[in-house]
Homo-oligomer: A and B are copies of this chain.
């Protein structure tokens, strides 16, 4: 049994981490809820009991075996080393350590073997990247990836609780004939789509699109893979989708492509109809459908992938990492 700290416990992903710990019957002896000073002293339900929230400070990790971070890059950089020093395994959901060569960046179904040796801090990939790498891996094994073009349809919950509230308020305003107001997003998302997720970089791609490229290359161990993306926010509560068109190095026939997806760990492969965000919400799988040979690309294939980004895209993947790194055999 172990003492588990959740840093950023009051956030959307923090709450999901607690739900997934409970669902998978992760062997938690004691849970420690850490958050900003503002939330400290409040109580919150977790794993069936009320707990007092403590401020996340460097000395808050005493006796902690596992620290699940979901509190942004700055807090991760400030506190993860202290947690590690206190003896905790750190799994961080921010971008702070994702490209750090000393910290593995892991999707357990794909490169979980990296967890055999690590320095105590493990990166949990960006949600769009987890979806993309999971969706690509079977095709990569079948024919070797040569080029990837992806467009995303990303849910609001990826931007946290204030984003969810903002979309709801915008829809209420619209219904009353009032002007919807945008603060969290750069413009109104209600009955709209917004073609930028995180800031734009000098090359015209956004931070999210850079993460997708860089993290995909790292997870698939293909440092030169051409990967391009357009990342778009859509008015969906939960579950990201991606339209993916790829070139492979070798021809792969339809039977081999389908066989690559069928039974792949963590994937539900749809052949009868197509998965949507509503189908994927609150599920643990990456849903892949519309797999089709794409004659417009050399050895081309296209597919549609959907995943609850709070589950496999964040909390579930983090806890799968912890289970594997700690040698815990659990799981729903």
Chain A residues near B (Cβ < 8 Å): 147-149, 151, 153, 171, 186-188, 191-196, 203-205, 213, 226-228, 230, 232, 234-237, 241, 243, 245, 273-274, 276-278, 289-297, 300, 302, 304
In contact, A148 and B296 (Cβ under 8 angstroms)? yes
Given contacts A149-B296, A187-B278, contact A290 B230 (CB under 8 A): yes
Q: A205 to chain B: which residues have CB within 8 Å?
A: 292
In contact, B153 and A193 (Cβ under 8 angstroms)? yes
In contact, A297 and B226 (Cβ under 8 angstroms)? yes
The 7 nearest A-B residue pairs measured at CB: A204-B292, A151-B151, A228-B296, A230-B243, A226-B296, A151-B243, A195-B304
Select A196's contact among B227, B234, B274, beta carbons within 8 Å.
B274
In contact, A236 and B276 (Cβ under 8 angstroms)? no
A210–chain B nearest beta-carbon distance, Å: 12
A29–chain B nearest beta-carbon distance, Å: 38
Select A228's contact among B213, B230, B302, beta carbons within 8 Å.
B302
The chain B residue sitting closest to A275, CB to CB, is B195
Given contacts A149-B149, A204-B290, A293-B203, contact A241 B302 (CB under 8 A): no
